[in-house]
Amino acid sequence: MGMKVAHVPNVTLNESDIDIARSVPTKEGNEANMIIRFCSRAKRDAYLGAAKKKTIATTDLGFTGPEENIYVNEHLTPETKRLLGAAVEKNKEVQWKYVWTKNGNVLARKTDVSTVLRIRSRDDISKIPWAVP
């Protein structure tokens, strides 16, 4: 199952590239979440990059039933997930161009050419000059 879900275009994976693949329960109970731990950071980064560039659907992986998109994200610690949520909420007010995570860090960017800011705490969210000049 892990190898089937791990298939994305332009990334060749072997079973030896995956350390662990397991399903995890969700709050809703009707969605199937999976955590895949890769043996190397290079494979993980290649996989995440390719998965972000191309939408993957259940039918692409040979699953039957209605076509649904598969979303691929980093697995975040509960604290990082809360911090990302707080940053996204703040961003709804100020509408910066990007708020995202990379390598377990919460990042924000006002425009395509502005400096990327790393958000380490809720205090950082309140200290960032969110207003657009």
Instruction: Return the domain boundaries, the chain.
Output: 2-70, 78-127
Q: What is the mean pLDDT of residues 60-85?
A: 89
Instruction: Return the SS3 of 48.
Output: helix
pLDDT of residue 77: 93
What band does 127 get if pLDDT is binned at 50, 70 and 90? Answer: confident
Cα-to-chain-centroid distance, residue 33: 13
Q: Is residue 44 within 8 Å of residue 74, measured between CB atoms? A: no
What band does 131 get if pLDDT is binned at 50, 70 and 90? Answer: low
pTM to 2 decimal places = 0.75
Question: At which residue do the structure tokens 């040979």 appear?
Answer: 62
**pLDDT tens digits, one per residue of 1-51:** 555 555 666 778 888 998 988 888 877 766 778 888 999 999 999 888 888
What's the distance, Cα to Cα, between the start and end of the chain in Å?
50
d(CA 101, CA 88): 11
